[in-house]
Structure 1
């Protein structure tokens, strides 16, 4: 079978199937399969984590945690419930969001008991507030976009999907996905007062 000019083995009719096969082998403690999964998805996973956390060092830590979780819980993956790639990327996103929530909870807890007042630089607090405010502005501006543009941008930047994957997920031609993303980003910049 040929997909996008690439010869695929007949049993892997879905690109996610190869990831599913690796996960099944990892469940049996196959180290070569684990290395194969790392080679296949680590850069996409790291990009997704970095978009959520922004901090490179924390993103590297979370990536390690996700791969440890995959090694320990690959037996819980069931191919009949979804694609392997989706399972891995969902786990990755969940772990990154958990890290953000944990950091926020820690800060809030420390502030409540007054420990954070010692040794905290004003600039760090100001930067945190500014990042949260900017995040809210982005979400608000994103909600004002037409539904199809919002969907494409959300899948790309929050879901970690490529334009080709978005095309497959939505059943939309790749050119249309690219146009929606380009136009959506342009409108987003305009709504936020950012010069292109």
Structure 2
């Protein structure tokens, strides 16, 4: 829950120092008073950095948990108690921003990796080579006229009419050679694919 806004204290900063030092000695009442005194300022700084009310509340609570655990480490020779608490708040908020950005980057990278279809180029090339060898071996079993018609149609990209013209045979004969050759290839390649490796 966000700290209640309250009017800024007119007491000297030494009261914050005294409350922080007493908190460092385990005085829960002093810690509660310290919270009431500085929580609105801590929450304000955190909210300005995070720009998210829910996260600001969480981080404010984390800051005060850290204050309770480390209050004994406060050294007044290095600055005021309020500055010490506000520095903890600022660092904690910046850490949350960095952590959130890092999480978003990881999520984005993960999604991008999922979108890119991972494959093994070597395995793909080997598979294509093996398939090519199977097709060439199957083509070798065809009659010369079937093989010639299929090569013109499928590897040469010619239509049935063009195959008949190139081979100087009737269109029906060209179609029959192509159809019969393809049926034989299908049977050979289907049997080859079904055989265990």
Q: Name the TM-score, length of structure 2 as normaliser.
A: 0.50
In structure 2, the residue matched to 1:18 is: 15
C-alpha change, 1:116 and 1:70, in structure 2 (3 Å) is: farther
Question: 1:28 Cα shift?
Answer: 0.7
C-alpha change, 1:115 and 1:67, in structure 2 (3 Å) is: farther
Distance 1:116 1:63 in 2: 36
Query: Unpaired runs of 5+ in structure 2?
Result: 1-9, 116-197
Correspondence for 2:95 among 88, 98, 103 = 98
Distance 1:25 1:16 in 2: 14
In structure 1, the residue matched to 2:41 is: 44
In structure 2, the residue matched to 1:33 is: 30
In structure 2, the residue matched to 1:73 is: 70
Deviations 1:151-174 (A, max 9, x none): xxxxxxxxxxxxxxxxxxxxxxxx
Question: 1:117 Cα shift?
Answer: 8.1
Query: Unpaired runs of 5+ in structure 1?
Result: 1-5, 9-14, 119-196
Distance 2:55 2:38 in 1: 18
Computing the radius of gyration over CA atoms, which structure comes out larger, 1 or 2? 2
Question: 1:89 Cα shift?
Answer: 0.5
In structure 1, the residue matched to 2:82 is: 85
Distance 1:76 1:92 in 2: 16
Q: CA RMSD in A?
A: 2.0
In structure 2, the residue matched to 1:145 is: none
What is the aligned length?
106
C-alpha change, 1:115 and 1:88, in structure 2 (3 Å) is: farther
C-alpha change, 1:43 and 1:114, in structure 2 (3 Å) is: same
Per chain length, whose mean CA-contact separation is higher, i.e. which structure has more relative contact order (CA < 8 Å, sep 6+)? Answer: 1
Deviations 1:131-180 (A, max 9, x none): xxxxxxxxxxxxxxxxxxxxxxxxxxxxxxxxxxxxxxxxxxxxxxxxxx
Distance 1:86 1:115 in 2: 43
Q: Is the 8 A contact 1:107 1:116 kept in 2?
A: no
